[in-house]
Amino acid sequence: MMRIPKWSRTGEPDLSRETLAALLADEIPAIRIRNFATRGECASFAEAVRRAGLKYYSVARRIGYIGLAQYEYRWDRPKEDYFRDVPAADARKDAVQRESFDAVQRLIDRLAEHYPDGRVGIAQEPLGRYYAGIIRHASDGVDLHADFAPFNAPHYLVGTIDAQLGWNLYAEELVAGGETTVHHAPWSPPLRDDEIPQSYNLPRETVAGAETFTFAPNVGDVVIFNTRNPHEIAGGTAAPGRDRISIGSFIGRLPNRDLVMWS
């Protein structure tokens, strides 16, 4: 019988050297950096997002975005296509951040204060720098999925990581709903040759019997969790002219212990 893992403690502790190590080891469900951004910074960020306009993923629930996801290049696309498209995506994100603040660099700086084991920065390999910092509008929710680059992106540098986290800053929240539920069932799909497994809209048996942790978005807060654990976002109700707007990326630990970010 497979052992069902348990977190050593629950809750949303503050970021520290100890809690970051525990989250990388999947010993705790989440870290919350409270008041990472001010209400004013978040309001200016959300307005800049609205002015910039969004693209939408081709999934059942409507998810708008600004940026570039490596996910879109995982099947039948050469790596060169991804790195070719990064500069244009960076330019769109940077235009939003110039009207508000640089959430990505602020998060890098904050992590570096608590991570003495290596450098912290955006992932890079000989073909170029990765994109980090997807801006999302996800009021309808997000289906059950998991993210772990050794399975999702085995031919990329990030495919060599041994732990993967995800962070999100919430710039605008819903009137009701929008909670994220993390299921403590580290994703370990059956692997067949070079085939990249499906990681979105996972069957419910993937998380059967697993311990769960649910957290709510809070304007100005960053929440970080281990994305190898399947997770989902509930839909909710937005106030007129408002939405669930966030920015975030993955954080992976390379064999040399550096922490690198990408989306």
What's the pLDDT at 194? 75
| Average pLDDT value for residue range 158-172 | 96
Lowest mean pLDDT among 144-153, 159-168, 173-182: 173-182
| Closest C-alpha to 223, from 204, 247, 198 | 247
How far is CA 152 from each of CA 70, 192, 233, rounded to the nearest angstrom? 9, 13, 20
The yes-or-no verdict on residue 191 having pLDDT over 60 is yes
Three state DSSP letters for 8-48 = CCCCCCCCCHHHHHHHHCCCCCCEEECCCCCHHHHHHHHHH
User: Are 127 and 222 within 8 A, CB to CB?
Assistant: no
What's the pLDDT at 117? 96
| Average pLDDT value for residue range 227-256 | 87
| Per-domain boundaries in the chain | 17-187+196-262
What's the pLDDT at 1? 40
Q: State whether CATH 2.60.120.620 applies to domain 17-187+196-262.
A: yes
What's the pLDDT at 144? 94
The yes-or-no verdict on residue 136 having pLDDT over 90 is no
What's the pLDDT at 174? 74
| Average pLDDT value for residue range 57-68 | 74
Lowest mean pLDDT among 23-32, 53-62, 69-78, 204-213: 53-62
| Average pLDDT value for residue range 12-36 | 98
The yes-or-no verdict on residue 129 having pLDDT over 90 is yes
| Average pLDDT value for residue range 109-131 | 97
CA dist., res. 204 & res. 158, Å (int): 27
What's the pLDDT at 199? 82
The yes-or-no verdict on residue 226 having pLDDT over 90 is yes
